Amino acid sequence: MTTLADIQAAALRIRDFVHRTPVLTSATLDHELGASLFAKCENLQKCGAFKARGACNAVFALDAATAQRGVITHSSGNHGAALAYAARARGVPCTVVMPDTAPEVKIAAVKSYGASVHFCKASERDAVCARLQQETGAEMVHPFENAHVIAGQGTAALELLEAVPDLDALITPVGGGGLCAGTAVVMRSLRPQAMMLGAEPEAVDDAARSMATGVRQPRVDGAKSWADGLMTGLGEPNFRLLKQHAVRVVTCSESAMLDAAKFFLQRMKIVVEPSAATVLACLRAIAPELRGKRVGMILSGGNTDFRWMQ
């Protein structure tokens, strides 16, 4: 199980390869929610998302012989681009299996870092990835079920608490659960009494149902959501960490998520993809509980083609 020491070690390993992203505030948002909000802007991270943290930690933790065989993963975009970036930084090959429904902006990003891209149906990505791994001998770097990836993602929360040490609550999006799990480890270690929250669209609510039942639920097949980065199911080690650290998962509607994304664009002048905007949408849903509190939110990414704008 990932520990605070693992995350602190990750922070040292990746510090030369990722940005220390800014923490922004909004008087308008504070007034609306009656709380003090602090947005950790991973939308301004390398590759446009927090995924650079976990990918860099995983790639640079490999021994030389393993790294030279290259790395492989499956991804809807952000992790794929991050792994391609990390592999290029270390000078090793990278293969990314992507669903044929992935946004063009994310496909272009993966290719721009020099990765070899293979497309398939979303339901086939595990099988295709396994076949290519066997053919190439590359090291699989799972988007979220990987200890080094989880530790790397937790470094965003570590930085946020260094900047704002007295948070009463912190929220991250939940897809596979790497970011939320790593963040929960940091929060329970450094702010044990604070609220640890996860944000998820109602259309893909497997994490919320998993936490409510105490049993990991399967991903929602055939779901439609603008949160393309959160369509995957909650990972097994990630679920165990969420349970261990008492994470509460809040859900939001598609319209609330898009309204939140538009708020960031129109009022805070930053591009936040719908997956990341779930954090604000879910905070708005529980606003009465937050009054007078200091609340952190990790804006997980900003890679979007704006098809959701209406």
What pLDDT is attached to residue 232? 86
Using CA atoms, how far apart are residues 193 and 110, in angstroms rounded to an integer?
Answer: 39
What pLDDT is attached to residue 125? 86
Query: What mean pLDDT do residues 241-246 have?
Result: 97
Share of the chain above pLDDT 90, in %: 88
Q: What is the CA radius of gyration of the chain?
A: 18
Q: 310 pLDDT exceeds 80?
A: no
For 28, 186, 194, the CA distances from 4, given in Å and listed in that order, are 34, 6, 16
106-134 per-position pLDDT tens digit: 899 899 999 999 999 988 888 999 999 99
What pLDDT is attached to residue 305? 85
What pLDDT is attached to residue 126? 87
What pLDDT is attached to residue 228? 87
Average pLDDT over all residues of the chain: 95
**pLDDT band for position 26 (50/70/90)?**
very high
**pLDDT band for position 101 (50/70/90)?**
confident
**pLDDT band for position 222 (50/70/90)?**
confident
**pLDDT band for position 149 (50/70/90)?**
very high
Write out the two tokens for 108: 């272009």
- How many DSSP H helices and E strands does the chain contain? 15, 10
What pLDDT is attached to residue 4? 98
What pLDDT is attached to residue 190? 98
φ and ψ at 194, to 5 degrees? -75, 155
Strands 195-201 and 23-24: unpaired
For 83, 167, 185, 193, the CA distances from 295, given in Å and listed in that order, are 30, 6, 17, 13
Distance of CA 276 to the CA centre of its chain: 8
Q: What is the pTM of this model?
A: 0.94
SS3 content of the chain, % helix, strand, coil (to 5): 50, 15, 35
62-92 per-position pLDDT tens digit: 999 999 999 999 987 789 999 999 999 999 9
Catalytic residue ranges: 51, 76
91-100 per-position pLDDT tens digit: 999 999 998 8
Write out the E strands in the chain. 23-24, 36-41, 71-74, 94-99, 116-120, 139-140, 169-173, 195-201, 248-252, 294-299
Query: What mean pLDDT do residues 183-205 have?
Result: 97
